[in-house]
Structure 1
Amino acid sequence: MPKDWFEWHDFYNTEPVLQQRLQIVGQYISDSLDVSLPGIIRVVSVCAGDGRDLLGTLSNHPRAKDVYARLIELNPKLVERGRLAIESAGLAKQIEFINGDATTSSSYAGAVPADIVIVCGVLGHVGDEAGLNRLLRNLSFLSKKGSLLIWTRGDTNGIRHSDTVRKLLGEAEFEEVSFKLTATGDMGVGLHRYLGEGSALPENQQLFVFSGDPNRGSQPVSQTSGE
């Protein structure tokens, strides 16, 4: 079993569900960049892992130079790997990789509201439905009217947890643009647009509780943890 989230990311080399999820997320990021207005595109990534979803997409996207992003991740080894990828891509002046706590509002100060918000590998690790609802509603602090949200959620034991996310997002003023299941059928990836007006980012407020354990990711086919 993996010791931490850094080792957990090795599953991307072997697990079809993670490879398929990453492909869909990358496509949604690309689509979001395509429809963004001319000028700067601000992106934030919550619990970003090593940032491979965004960085992989930017490697060959024509609007890469328009993206100014903040990626937030607690595992220092993942952050180090992400920063090396940013340097290699020549994007160090545009993308900052923060080794910090993505659950606290202070980590987003100066980077929001964003045009694109990435919340992948998170929603399965916020406790019960009340915790999930809290996180989804607090996305208003990171968003503005028209912001695009990209998210993932695993479905386990025949339970469509992704349907719950879709329902709660609608209640939180997010309109569904697209939704896909991986070919394995047990991981949902969604693209939503925020219809609300957004809310001012509070100071030092916990936006959600992340309860993920990397050992649960030893069977990623049924999990949503990691990047």
Structure 2
Amino acid sequence: MPKDWFEWHDLYNTEPKLQQRLEIVREYITYSLDASPAGRIRVVSVCAGDGRDLLGTLANHPRAQDVYARLVELNPNLVERGKATIESLGLAKQIEFINGDATISANYVGAVPADIVIVCGVFGNLADEAELKRLLDNLSFLSKKGAFVLWTRGHSNGTAYSDTVRKVLQASQFEEVKFKLTATGDMGVGINRYVGENLPAPKEQQLFVFSGVPHKAR
């Protein structure tokens, strides 16, 4: 079992459910970029890992030069790998990778409100539905009105946890645009659009509590 999140990301090389999840996430990032108005597209990625979802999409997308992004990740090895990818794509002047705590609102100041918010691999690492609601309340700080929000949620022990996420999102002014399950049937990927008003300041300085550990990631 992976002992840290850097090792966990190596599972993308062998785990079909993660590979399928990544494929759908990239599909939804492409959709979001295509649907964005002409001009600059602001993107933020929460618990970004090595950024392979966004960066892998931008490698072949015609609007890559329009994207100005901030990716926030705590693991320094993942950040270094992501930075190397950004350099290889020639996007270092547009995309910054912050080695910091993605739960703290200060790490997003200057990059929000965003047109696209990526919160993949996060919802399954929250303690309960109350913590999910807390994060969604604070997403109003990260998201401009009309922003696309991309998310994932794993299923386990016969429970479709993504059903709860979909309900809470829609109750929190995030209208569903698309939703898919992986072919393995145990990973849900969604894209929602924020129809509320942007909050100029977060409701809390700590946007959420990340309680997951690599060997129990959901």
For residue 118 of structure 1, what is the aligned residue in structure 2? Answer: 118
1:168-215, CA deviations, whole angstroms, 9 ceiling, x for partnerless residues?
A: 001110100000000000100000000001111249700000011012
C-alpha separation between the residues in 2 aligned to 1:92 and 1:149? 24
CA contact (8 A) 1:79 1:97 kept: yes
For residue 191 of structure 2, what is the aligned residue in structure 1? Answer: 191
- The alignment partner of 2:146 has SS state of coil
C-alpha separation between the residues in 2 aligned to 1:145 and 1:203? 17
- The alignment partner of 1:193 has SS state of strand
Point out the more displaced range, 197-206 or 59-68.
197-206
CA contact (8 A) 1:73 1:99 kept: yes
- The alignment partner of 1:145 has SS state of strand
More strand by share: 2
C-alpha separation between the residues in 1 aligned to 2:12 and 2:125? 19
Where in structure 1 do 4 or more consecutive aligned residues deviate above 2 Å? Answer: 201-204
For residue 46 of structure 2, what is the aligned residue in structure 1? Answer: 46
Larger RCO of the pair (alpha carbons < 8 Å, separation 6+): 1
C-alpha separation between the residues in 1 aligned to 2:202 and 2:161? 29
1:2 to partner: Cα distance: 1.4
User: When the two structures are aligned, how many residues end up with a matched partner?
Assistant: 218
Structure 1 residues 108 and 177, CA gap change in structure 2 (3 angstroms)? same
Give the root-mean-square deviation of aligned CA atoms.
1.0
Query: Between the two proteins, what is the percent identity of the paired residues?
Result: 73
Which runs of 5 or more structure 2 residues have no equivalent in the other structure? none
Which runs of 5 or more structure 1 residues have no equivalent in the other structure? 218-222
CA contact (8 A) 1:103 1:206 kept: yes
1:15 to partner: Cα distance: 0.2
1:38-62, CA deviations, whole angstroms, 9 ceiling, x for partnerless residues?
A: 0000000000000000000000000
CA contact (8 A) 1:76 1:99 kept: yes
- The alignment partner of 1:68 has SS state of strand
